[in-house]
Structure 1
Amino acid sequence: MGLIAEFRLVSEGLALVDVAAGIPDATVEFESVQAQPSGPPTFVVQTAGADADAIDAAFADADSVTDHSLLAAEGATRRYRCRPTGGPPADLELLADNGSIPERVLVTPTGWEERRWFADREEFDQFRSFCRANDYRFHLDRLVERDDGSDGPGTGPFGRDDDLSRPPEMTDAQHEALVTAHEMGYFDTPRTATMADVADELGVASASLSERLRRAQHHLVAEFRRTSNLKPRTN
């Protein structure tokens, strides 16, 4: 059993965000993070879709990382090594026992888009608390429970029991309300969160949340009927 989460962290303070902003049409993705005996870790980053001069200029102008160097180049894909500037994030001890494993971290001009495996919901909540303690705005896009007997992250597609991908008609606000309510336990039996709890988490009124959930559930049912070819009642 485990959880796969897809989420976005939004913050100008995240490493490499300023690099991605300097080459907005390119892809900037973490390949690895290598811990050092002392000092900051070393990042290995893969870029694609920008020429060498533009990438070098973006690294040179960035404040979040330093000491970048080219490791390899193959066509439009280039791999760089660099180090983050500044001290470690606050409240790092919150992650002392967290065994979550990132499967993909894509850097954008506004933050990170991440896919990460968690052993259980406690680890997920711990990681989310750490992000919020550092003012990283956490937007959950998908939370999937794996029940296929694996003990770690998978490489296959999503699609297990609790897949909460967004139907095309659902708005971002409705999707965020639905996913937040789900991961807080609003739909559990018995419930572990109330409507007011979820509304407080999202910073909206309970009446607004109720309307968003109602519309989100309508879209889910409509999508289920469409994909399962369920015929409407005729009586």
Structure 2
Amino acid sequence: MSGIRAEITVDSPPDCPAATAAAAADGTAKSITKSVPTDPDEAVTEEFVLTGDRPIDATGTKGGDGTSGDAAPSVDELQEVFSYGSERVYRFERPQGRTCFCECIEGFGCPVRDVHSRGGSLTVSFHAPDVDTLRSVVARLDQRWSGVSVRRLVRSDADRDGSDLVLVDRGELTERQREVLETAHEMGYFEHPKRANAGDVAAELGVDDSTFVEHLSAAQGKLLSSILP
């Protein structure tokens, strides 16, 4: 088998209400589920469980036409439907045409197996059938969202004793790409939860966010080519 388990993180996606709520509450959003009606004109209903140190102002307010429109629902458009101890369940609706981070991955035939958010960063786990599919998924995510990083990769045919080793030629990376990776690593960009976001690392490097993401994506692509031939 050549399947790959991937864990990908996106830094504070503005179009994910669960991640936005986790950031507002300085907590964690988990058990993110959705219900998709058969009628394409009807809204998708999503729920998530939130735990956090700060309360959020979730009133369930809708727009003037009774919907949330094409934009992602804001925190004040979330509806609290259940609470137990420190956990609260929130619900929101969105149009079926507004593709989210998870649906973008599922569009490649890779069902999402786990998704959660801590402090605003969204982490998604899924299985890709092969390296080409994984590369296509990462490339598409990089096109639509900034701050996308591959946190973990596991091959299904790896030896149980951990001897599935590969040689990575760092010479494949440009000096600038190595600097970007080293700075991001030192600042805790790849940690969970993150100690620095894309803007923080970009500022340290003296570049704008888009330039940082461009260099990071190029470096990650080269590393993937070496690790997953």
Q: TM-score, normalised by structure 2?
A: 0.56
Specify the alignment match of 2:171 in structure 1: none
Specify the alignment match of 1:128 in structure 2: 138
Gaps of at least 5 residues in structure 2 are: 62-67, 167-181, 191-215
Contact 1:101 1:116 in 2 (8 A): yes
Specify the alignment match of 1:44 in structure 2: 47
CA RMSD, aligned part only? 4.3
Is 1:111 the equivalent of 2:148? no
Which of 25, 49, 57 is 1:23 aligned to?
A: 25
Which of 57, 64, 72 is 1:64 aligned to?
A: 72
Distance 1:126 1:72, change over 3 A: same
Contact 2:28 2:119 in 1 (8 A): no
Distance 1:59 1:171, change over 3 A: farther
How far has the Cα of 1:99 moved from its partner? Answer: 1.8
Which of 136, 139, 148 is 2:149 aligned to?
A: 139
Distance 1:96 1:18, change over 3 A: closer
Specify the alignment match of 1:7 in structure 2: 8
Specify the alignment match of 2:177 in structure 1: none
Specify the alignment match of 1:215 in structure 2: none
Q: Tell which structure's C-alpha radius of gyration is larger.
A: 1
- Code of the aligned partner of 1:114: V
Distance 1:134 1:11, change over 3 A: farther
Distance 1:145 1:163, change over 3 A: farther
- Code of the aligned partner of 1:118: A
Distance, in Å, in 1 between the alignment partners of 2:123 and 2:57 is 23
Contact 2:73 2:93 in 1 (8 A): yes
Q: TM-score, normalised by structure 1?
A: 0.54
Gaps of at least 5 residues in structure 1 are: 149-157, 165-169, 193-235
What count of residue pairs does the alignment treat as equivalent? 170
- Code of the aligned partner of 1:6: E
Is 1:82 the equivalent of 2:92? yes
Contact 2:31 2:115 in 1 (8 A): yes
Q: Specify which structure has the bigger relative contact order, considering alpha-carbon pairs within 8 angstroms and separated by 6 or more residues.
A: 2
Distance 1:110 1:28, change over 3 A: closer
Specify the alignment match of 1:185 in structure 2: 225
Distance, in Å, in 1 between the alignment partners of 2:163 and 2:83 is 41
Aligned residues: percent identity? 17
How far has the Cα of 1:33 moved from its partner? Answer: 2.2
- The C-alpha deviation readout for 1:197-224, integer Å capped at 9, x for no partner, is xxxxxxxxxxxxxxxxxxxxxxxxxxxx
Distance, in Å, in 2 between the alignment partners of 1:132 and 1:43 is 24
Contact 2:49 2:90 in 1 (8 A): yes
